[in-house]
Structure 1
Amino acid sequence: MIGLGTMGAGIVEVLAKAGHRVFGIDYDDRAVAGGRERLETSLDRAVQKGKLNPDERQAVVSRVSFGTDKAVLTGASVIIEAVSEKPELKQAVFAEIDAHAPADAILATNTSSLSITSIAAGTTRPDRVIGIHFFNPAPVQPLVEVIDTVLTDPAVIDRAMSFLQELGKRPIRCGDRAGFIVNSLLVGYLNAAVRTYADGRISREQLDAAMVEEAGYPMGPLALLDMIGIDVGHAVLVRMYDETKDRRHAPAPLLTQLLEAGLLGRKTGRGFYDYRSEESVAPVRTPQWASGEGIAEELVTDYLNDAVRMVETNYATPDDIDAGMSLGCRMPKPFEVLAARGPRAVLDRQRAIFERTAEPGDRPSALLEALADAAEPQAALELLRSR
């Protein structure tokens, strides 16, 4: 395991708990000490909660070695990198991995949205490189995205999927696109919600309440962005827009303004909401005529259309998409929602959205149209979900 920050140390814990011998590597002794402390603190917390006994804790610790020497890579069968989300840094790390790793090792990068293909360019064996995106906190979250590239050996992906299942994780598979499955759908929806709010169509409180009460989401989009971090959401959108050139993925101007103002959400005390006191301050004024009628349904419909398009393009399966959004975000499963609403009703709403916006990205998915036009739309949808 290379990189022993919060995520790296968490992955070390997952591996060691599963019985694997683990080598944790970072760039200097201070970083290594920080990784060791994170692991031991997490294990102590598990003991206090009764999830581990002291002997089990000691067994986990005994399986882990820490250091800075990359020579230990010569004996590794799986190498996972989790350094900072900087493409140049990850490429440099993979060049070092390439110099030491065995020929048959899995070379994995833990990233939430960076190009796996670009990172693989730092090696002489890009066919061995994949993305393995653990969700935070890694010891608790069951979901892992497994990302291949046009150069990845299929056997490497199969081996990685089996390895993660043995760890007790739920791996979902997708290709190398910005945002992968979960962040692409989640952050695209959050950006649409910010635009809707900034346009004055709904108040901040109305929007967040509607998505919880009407759509069944665990948290409103603006409160969620404050929790994730405005800077984090903005960075993912920038990567998505750079790749797709879909104007829906261009960060909403209000999001950029908050970023530039240093209002990053909970971590800075203020974002869409003010966390410094009981008084809540909105960053923009909402017109008195805003009613919010139908906006939750509109945001859900657009989100479902994007999910169906992922299947249409053979990017991901309905089952993996449902698992990703439910396990990764605690959101309702998209294809269960589609089944409950019915393909025809969702298509009609999506056509109305496209007629209003004329955005190419809002055009109804061809697969959604095919489902709606089937002799038995629900049966066609169930057949799609069973594949």
Structure 2
Amino acid sequence: MAFERVGVVGLGTMGAGIAEVFARAGLRVLGVEADAEALARGRSLLEKSTARALDKGRLTAQEREAILGRVTLTTSREDLREADLVVEAIPEHLELKLRLFADLDRICKPETVLATNTSSLPVTAIAAATGRPGRVVGLHFFNPAPVMRLVEVVRTVLSDPGVVGAVEGLAERLGKTAVTVGDRAGFVANRLLLPYLNHAAVLLELGVATRDGIDAVMRQGAGLPMGPFELLDLIGLDTAYEIMEVLYDETRDRRHAPSPLLRELVTAGRLGRKSQGGFYTGEPPQPQDARSSGVRTFDVAGPGADELAGRLDAAGFKRSGEAADVVLRLGDRPVVEHAVRLRDPAKLVGVRLHGDRVAELAVTALTSQEAVAAASDLMKVLGITPVPCKDRAGFVADALLLPYLNDAVRMYDAGYASVADIDTAMRLGCGYPAGPFETLEAMGLERVRDGLRALYAEYREPAFAPAPLLDQLVVAGASAFPRS
């Protein structure tokens, strides 16, 4: 099955990027838009994108001219009748897509493969709107399409295996890495990413930590490229809201219901960077260093206490037992159980260090603001970003990270995608330093299982209960997931 003539319907940011990807790979591309004005915008996007690549030395002038020369633009869908493949990249509204695919089915030759770039809508429903459901697939590119290496190839129960294989081969020809997945809302990347982002908004609403604190923990502590609220502003809060609604419509999992805060911001027109304001109204603030503190004495207990005490001693602070200005307790919660054993429980602050970059400071119902300020100052003097948070299961990092890992295990266990494809999707599609299974195995299966049990015991959220496969592997003494 050869693809040489490709149509792209919809030349917005994604569609223009997809057209560029095909043209870069040497394919003839026919770009289709609704009217002359939209067509001009699409042409401008193509020209600007290739001009940027030229300026950065990624294309020569001759290569840019050749790429643009392979793209023909039109306002007539009828011109697609000889295309070998047509990719749809119109707005994410199912009714619009159903009408378009019914029209493409009428126009295109019987052997043409029709593909949708939807990020979350049901590909099966789109395929069923045509008379060629076996030749309809999802082909989900990531933005910006010319740069991002991942493509999700979505097969349905109706898809012809030969068509799926041919599209996988095309993705390789385009220089992309394809992961092939079943037709579930959100596919792999969005199905794992968006509930994590939504959960961050829920933790903010619950007052577990501040916006800046949550972003700092996940960026500096968990090693993600962006904090959840920075990423939501980049994606667009309206886009995130729409994807969460699609997920909720399919799963009826209350974790997939858009958080009230997300809904409120979207209703108010606070959509993120596209509207100059979302969770942030400007660039995220940078943490301020502290080189001195009014704190003179401290005490510290728990795993790793002596090492932290040595660092604080070297910085000029004195360890002096319970009479200290602040008492630090390293380890996991419940921190309040340690606080009530002190003569003055208001002095105790829980501490969970993430390397030398960030520290979650767990504040109990008894902790004084003076103790929180003192603990924050000590961390800043050591060059560590302090993030005060409530004394809740998982604090911030584990409360957000462990359910995401659990979702990945359930996804794999359902036969929906392989371990390797899930890891690849999150690394290449979301820029994560490691995939969920790589992360889970590095953390330790038992630690993740026990952390999920603690989250479930506190929040009573069914999805926080450890996936049966995870529990079974821990019981069996396994340290990794099967890769076959």
TM band (smaller chain): over 0.9
Q: CA 1:120 to 1:347, structure 2 compared with 1: closer, same or farther past 3 Å?
A: same
Aligned to 2:146: 139
Counterparts in 2 of 1:170-209, with a 5 A limit?
Answer: 170-209=177-216
Q: Does 2:475 correspond to 1:373? A: yes
Q: What aligned pairs does 1:252-291 form with structure 2 within 5 A after superposition?
A: 252-275=259-282, 291=389
Q: 2:415 corresponds to which letter in structure 1?
A: N
- Equivalent residue number for residue 218 of structure 2: 211
Query: How large is the Cα RMSD of the aligned pairs?
Result: 2.1
TM superposition shift of 1:171: 0.8
The 1:169–1:363 alpha-carbon spacing in structure 2 relative to 1, beyond 3 Å, is same
Aligned-residue offset at 1:33:
2.0
Given that 1:203 and 1:292 are in contact with CA atoms closer than 8 Å, whether structure 2 keeps it comes out as no
Q: Deviations over 1:154-208 (max 9, x none)?
A: 1111111011011100111111111111011111101111111110111222111
Give 5+ residue unaligned stretches, structure 1. Answer: 280-285
Query: Deviation at 1:276?
Result: 8.9
2:406 corresponds, among 293, 305, 321, to 305
The residue number in structure 2 matching 1:282 is none
Q: Using the alignment, how far apart are the partners of 1:185 and 1:147 within structure 2? A: 16
Q: Identity percentage over the alignment?
A: 47
User: Is 1:91–2:62 an aligned residue pair?
Assistant: no
How many residues align? The count is 377
* SS of residue matched to 2:20: helix
Query: Could you tell me how far apart the structure 1 residues matched to 2:219 and 2:284 are?
Result: 24
Q: Which runs of 4+ in 1 moved over 4 A?
A: 276-279, 286-290
Q: So what's the TM-score if we normalise by structure 1?
A: 0.93
**Runs of 5+ consecutive residues of structure 2 not aligned to the other structure:** 1-7, 287-362, 373-387
Residue number in structure 1 paired with 2:454: 352
Q: Which residue identity lines up with residue 427 of structure 2 in the other structure?
A: S
Q: CA deviation at 1:217?
A: 0.9
Say if 1:278 and 1:308 are closer, same or farther in 2 by CA, change over 3 A: closer
The DSSP-based 3-state class of the residue aligned with 1:291 is strand
Aligned-partner Cα distance in 2 for 1:278–1:111: 34
Q: Output aligned runs, 1:223-262, within 5 Å.
A: 223-262=230-269
In structure 1, the residue matched to 2:426 is: 325
Contact 1:85 1:111 in 2 (8 A): yes
Structure 1 residue 45 displacement after superposition: 1.7
SS at 1:58's partner residue? Answer: helix
Residue 177 of structure 1 aligns with an amino acid whose one-letter code is: R
Distance in 2, matches of 1:301 and 1:134, equals: 27
State the SS of the aligned residue for 1:32: helix
Q: Which is helix-richer, 1 or 2?
A: 1
Aligned match of 1:283: none
Give the deviation of 1:278 after TM superposition. Answer: 8.0
Of 353, 359, 362, 2:464 maps to 362
Residues 147-162 of structure 1 aligned to structure 2 (within 5 Å): 147-162=154-169
1:315 Cα offset (Å)? 0.7
Residues 39-78 of structure 1 mapped to structure 2, 5 A cutoff: 39-78=46-85
